[in-house]
Chain A
Amino acid sequence: MTAKLHSPVATWLILVVATLLSYVAWIDPERLSPAVAGSAVILIAMAKAWLIGMRFMELESAVLPLRIAYNLWVVVVGAVLLAMFAVA
């Protein structure tokens, strides 16, 4: 089961569904408050970036410093965007 969830096609499906979810947040603004929808869009984008890195770029099985550098990039970019967009 875990192997199936880690397969490239399963990863692609997760990415497609996540993309559709963030698109729904844009086309249906009444459903969520702008702040929640905006934060969700950023969080989904960062989760997708992380998933592409771990699965497609094979960082899951990479040496620790490389994984730390990539995870740090995802967390810092996500946190800065969330904070600055929230202030605006």
Chain B
Amino acid sequence: MLDYDIYGIAQAIDNGGRPEVQPHQPVTNTPAPHIPGEPGVWILVMGDMFVFALLFGTVAYYRMDGPEVFHASQASLNQALGLTNTFALLTSSLCVVLGLNAARERRGGRGWITLAMALGAMFVGFKLLEYAQKGGEGLLPDTNMFFMLYFVLTGMHLGHVLLGLLALFFMRRAIDPDISPENLRLVECCAIFWHMVDVLWVILFAIFYLHR
């Protein structure tokens, strides 16, 4: 019979020779409700998400003021590059999940995290390329309110991507076939932070690049 500890690690339960399934006891492999990672990382993540929620509201507020300016400015963004970056972050999130699962099952998982870091670095590269393109076209934060919000919000997000890459670096270093419960908790916290970076980008992509 399998049970899960607070880290979601499957562990065999010694039944002392008794039958594995007791009458009227449901058989389940579903982990008991727990806090993924540490409570502290959720305070950080929820705090960050609250701040970004206010910023998303700010974008919507200024868009109400001048939808024409927003519409015209949005047309000058590179949607294909935004789409590529979305795929890069979604795929890097998948790699982080696969790396975490491998670490839990004591199968290593560093390769997945290396791939996730490469995709994160690709996101940074494309974002900087996009900033350079906009700068070359004379589209800067002081051009209008759309570009002010675009540069501030995507810039803040880019800062989170860089922090996330640092977290992935520590995650990769902590992963080991003999990973300790403490390091596994650290790995979970880093993964949660990286997924938050993904969540925030998904919404930024929608409101700046796609919403007409």
Contact = CB atoms under 8 A, between A and B. Distances in A.
Q: Is the interface of B mostly helix, strand, loop or mixed?
A: helix
A12 B91 contact: yes
B212 A61 contact: no
A76 B46 CA distance: 14
Interface stretch (B14-22, B133-141, B200-208): B200-208
Interface extent on B, as a size class?
A: 35 or more
A73 B83 CA distance: 24
Contact of A88 (B57, B63, B90, B91): B63
Interface stretch (B94-102, B152-160, B168-176): B94-102
27 contacts: A8-B97, A8-B101, A12-B90, A19-B83, A19-B87, A23-B79, A37-B212, A42-B207, A45-B202, A45-B206, A49-B199, A49-B202, A52-B199, A57-B195, A58-B8, A59-B36, A62-B34, A70-B46, A73-B49, A73-B50, A73-B53, A77-B56, A80-B53, A80-B60, A81-B57, A84-B63, A88-B60
